[in-house]
Amino acid sequence: MADPIRLEQIIFNLLDNAIKYSPSGGKTILAVSSKKKDVSIKVRDNGKGIPEEDLPYILNRFYRVDKSRTRSLGGTGLGLAIVKELVLAHGGTISVKSKEGIGTEFELVFKGADSIENDTIS
Ligand SMILES: Nc1ncnc2c1ncn2[C@@H]1O[C@H](COP(=O)(O)OP(=O)(O)OP(=O)(O)O)[C@@H](O)[C@H]1O
Ligand SMILES: [Mg+2]
């Protein structure tokens, strides 16, 4: 069970970044698979990547690798913070792997129906 509008926002924000931070002609892959009883959603690009020193902060509000406000790609730095909040609100987890100049992969893991069938709503 998920909120479809929030799920769309999660995927949209990740795809928006994948496209925005990749050169034209770059490749973005969206992969959905089962992980035991859970569901894994991966968004991978072969764009500019995120420097190792920035990775721990990337999900924080207003954090941007390029701090210049005049930059043409200028976002607010809120997209990933919103993704994190929405994923956590769904009881999911988010992780990121990235290499500068190689690309970035975000993975979301949500509990599958079987994993939560014994949960009770009180
Ligand atoms: N796929 C990616 N490849 C490279 N860098 C990324 C990627 N996704 C995010 N980043 C880096 O992380 C920062 C934070 O991303 P986030 O989506 O939170 O903000 P934003 O894209 O700058 O602005 P907003 O999403 O609010 O328009 C980005 O500014 C960028 O530096
Ligand atoms: Mg963004």
Class of domain 4-110 (CATH, top level): alpha beta
Q: What is the pLDDT of residue 115?
A: 66
The answer on pLDDT for 2 being more than 70 is yes
The ligand with the least distance to the CA atom of 45 is: 1
Which token pair is 28? 């973005």
pLDDT, tens only, 9-54: 999 999 999 999 999 999 999 999 998 889 999 999 999 999 999 9
Of all protein residues, the one whose alpha carbon is nearest to atom 17 of ligand 1 is 79
pLDDT, tens only, 62-94: 999 988 665 567 689 999 999 999 999 999 999
Which token pair is 39? 């569901």
pTM for this predicted structure: 0.91
Distance 27 CA to ligand 1 centre (A): 17
Averaged pLDDT, 94-118:
89
To test the pocket of ligand 1, the residue of 14, 17, 59 to mutate (highest count of ligand atoms within 8 Å of its CB) is 17
With 0-12 / 13-18 / 19 or more C-beta atoms within 10 angstroms meaning exposed / middle / buried, residue 85 is middle
Contacts of 116 (CB under 8 A, 6+ apart): 91
